[in-house]
Amino acid sequence: MYRYDEFDERFVRERVAQFRDQVGRRLSGALTEDEFKPLRLKNGVYLQLHAYMLRIAVPYGTLSARQMRQLALIGERYDRGYGHFTTRTNLQFNWPKLRDIPDILDLLADVEMHAIQTSGNCIRNVTADHFAGVAPDEIEDPRPTAELIRQWSSLHPEFDYLPRKFKIAVTGAAHDRAVIKAHDIGLRILRHPDTNEIGYEVVVGGGLGRTPMIGKTVREFLPKADLLAYLEAIMRVYNLEGRRDNKYKARVKILVHEIGTAEFSRRVEEEFARLDGPSVNADPAEVARIAAYFAPPAYEALPATSGAFETAKAGNPDFARWVETNVTPHRQQGYAAATISLKPIGAPPGDASSAQMRLVADLAEAFSLSEIRVTHAQNLVLPHVKLSDLFALWQRLGEAGLATANAGLITDIIACPGLDYCALATARSIPIAQAVAKRFADPARQKEIGVLNVKISGCINACGHHHVGHIGILGLEKRGIESYQITLGGDATETAAIGEILGPGLAAEDVPDAIERIVSVYLAQRRAGESFIDNVRRIGLAPFKAAFQEASHAVA
């Protein structure tokens, strides 16, 4: 894992001291709310419905056991004993008091964490594939790239007041688990077909929100060494030409859409040719220094199979089911990655109590070389577990209610905090997720349905990624009542797609029935081995629409 050097350490500590002073001036009345708001947002402090909220960056979703334990402590000491993992692999505390936040930031700095650039019109936390360094289909670990971008973009003076927020995601694998096509910039590490050299495919202009767009490829192959100069060229074109007159048209996706991919690409290439690449690109020694932190950990040489593991699976169907859904192959022989579902049936998606965080930290130390990942699907991953330890791990998780065997299934629902917490929300998300999960709780039924992503947002801003859910649910207000719009056919992977609306909005209590109808069409019409999304693509929306409209009691 990356470790702060003296500059990182000083930078974060200075920022804490600055914020402590800013809070002091706010409390003394020297700063008005209008003056203070942009300062607090620069440090991840929002005002939500019931309280302040602190959003803490988890760069590329990687956490150490020590960091997780510190988050548990903060949750217990300064919040209400729990936190919420988000679709951008951040952690949000829902109840911090403004007067305590400088102390919280100090505790974070103690473990090389912060809340800088988790809000505001700047380059936000850089995310990556949660199986980085682990996945067998990986070409190169995306985290050194993400860390390089983090350092380059932190307090970059030129990009501190962009037209709008800016999100970057990186994947190093063929299969996209980082939703790169729904980011302002998505980077895919690949090998050049002729030279075998490693570089990047650069995708720009993806995003969800009120105008969902799939990112467009602006450069098929960018040599690795040119990364920062090319990113700088993109940011300059956006900074100069992105709209500042209308916040709803200010994201880079609108610029790309309005001038076209070819023209956007031309302007970026022009800027790239003009700027002094060598002065912008990272020193190869620095790139190597960063990359060294992500060198594979000290694995043991293990056989490819474990007798104890196979015996445990054979003797325990519940364990076998958990392995089937929540355990992912590892590139290192004898190891696996274990997904810890934060979606127990009926619980708010992504929430973890301080006790659970502490347990995960303990288990990471015992079983996963002290490493933890946060996924954009609001789950946790222990990335390096020996096959022979999986049964013991599963037992310990089970004791804490963390062994739900549903990763990727219909009850592994992404949901934003929605109107239960969020000041922007137009409807609740969490109760919908709870109701749908309860409806499909039966493990046999979940298995029969197979991979199905349900994603729920409580407003048009789409933090719950509903546009790219196989089934998306968007909560809106319709004549003073919460109303839910269902979309179908979205896809968050390399075959990214925006879902299409099935029909009129539904009342909250009708949503589980509507999902049931949609699933029934799939089960009746699928071919052998055909997944839900493949089925939707093959048969089209019409049969689903018909079933949906039969069932819908529109709020209209």
Partner 1 sequence: MAAAKRPALPVILLANDLLDGDVVFATGDAHGLCWSRDPGAALIGHDEATADRLDAFAAAELGGQRVVDAYLVDVAVEGGVPVPRHYRERMKTTGPSVRRDLGKQADLPLAEAFTRTAFARA
Q: Which spans of this chain sit near partner 1 (rule: CB under 8 A)?
A: 26-29, 32-33, 47, 49-52, 80, 95-99, 348, 419-421, 425-426, 428, 430-431, 434-435, 480-482, 508-509, 512
Q: Which is nearer to partner 1, 59 or 348 (CB)?
A: 348
Q: What is the DSSP letter of 163?
A: S
3-state secondary structure 304-343: CCCHHHHHHHHHCHHHHHHHHHHEEECCCCCEEEEEECCC
- CB 230 to partner 1: min, Å: 42
**Amino acid at residue number 488:** L
Q: Which is nearer to partner 1, 31 or 366 (CB)?
A: 31
How far is residue 556's CA from residue 553's CA, in Å, rounded to a whole number? 8
Residue 297 has phi, psi (to 5 degrees) of -70, 175
Could you tell me if 201 and 192 are in contact, meaning their C-beta atoms sit under 8 angstroms apart? Answer: no
Q: Which is nearer to partner 1, 76 or 534 (CB)?
A: 76
Q: Which two tokens stand for residue 257?
A: 């859409």
Q: What is the DSSP letter of 23?
A: H
Could you tell me if 311 and 387 are in contact, meaning their C-beta atoms sit under 8 angstroms apart? Answer: no
Overall residue count recorded for the chain in this entry: 556
How far is residue 252's CA from residue 243's CA, in Å, rounded to a whole number? 9
Q: Which is nearer to partner 1, 284 or 346 (CB)?
A: 346
Q: Which is nearer to partner 1, 132 or 436 (CB)?
A: 436
Q: Which is nearer to partner 1, 90 or 426 (CB)?
A: 426
- CB 513 to partner 1: min, Å: 10
Q: Which is nearer to partner 1, 21 or 448 (CB)?
A: 21
């070389």: which residue's tokens? 369
- CB 47 to partner 1: min, Å: 6
Q: Which is nearer to partner 1, 286 or 509 (CB)?
A: 509
- CB 445 to partner 1: min, Å: 19
- CB 381 to partner 1: min, Å: 25
- CB 365 to partner 1: min, Å: 30
Q: Which is nearer to partner 1, 54 or 519 (CB)?
A: 54
How far is residue 184's CA from residue 251's CA, in Å, rounded to a whole number? 8
Q: Which is nearer to partner 1, 10 or 97 (CB)?
A: 97
- CB 144 to partner 1: min, Å: 38
Q: Which is nearer to partner 1, 352 or 393 (CB)?
A: 352
Give residues with Cβ within 8 angstroms of 536, minimum separation 6.
470, 488, 489, 522, 544
How far is residue 351's CA from residue 433's CA, in Å, rounded to a whole number? 13
Give long-range contacts, CB 8 A cutoff, 24+ apart: 183-191: 183/127, 183/207, 183/215, 184/251, 184/252, 184/253, 185/215, 185/231, 185/234, 185/252, 186/215, 187/142, 187/145, 187/227, 189/139, 189/140, 189/142, 189/145, 190/139, 190/221, 191/139
Q: Which two tokens stand for residue 200?
A: 């990047």
How far is residue 337's CA from residue 94's CA, in Å, rounded to a whole number? 30
How far is residue 367's CA from residue 359's CA, in Å, rounded to a whole number? 12
Q: Which is nearer to partner 1, 94 or 145 (CB)?
A: 94
Q: Which is nearer to partner 1, 35 or 197 (CB)?
A: 35
Strands (E), 251-404: 327-329, 335-340, 351-353, 371-374, 380-386
- CB 188 to partner 1: min, Å: 37
- CB 342 to partner 1: min, Å: 14
Q: Which is nearer to partner 1, 335 or 421 (CB)?
A: 421
- CB 421 to partner 1: min, Å: 6
How far is residue 459's CA from residue 457's CA, in Å, rounded to a whole number? 6
- CB 480 to partner 1: min, Å: 7
Pairing mode, strands 52-56 and 327-329: unpaired
- CB 412 to partner 1: min, Å: 18
- CB 105 to partner 1: min, Å: 16
How far is residue 266's CA from residue 274's CA, in Å, rounded to a whole number? 12
- CB 354 to partner 1: min, Å: 14
CA-wise closest residue to 167 among 137, 224, 210, 208: 208
Could you tell me if 401 and 443 are in contact, meaning their C-beta atoms sit under 8 angstroms apart? Answer: no
End-to-end, the C-alpha distance of the chain in Å comes to 53
**Which residues, in sequence order, are bridge partners of residue 328?**
337
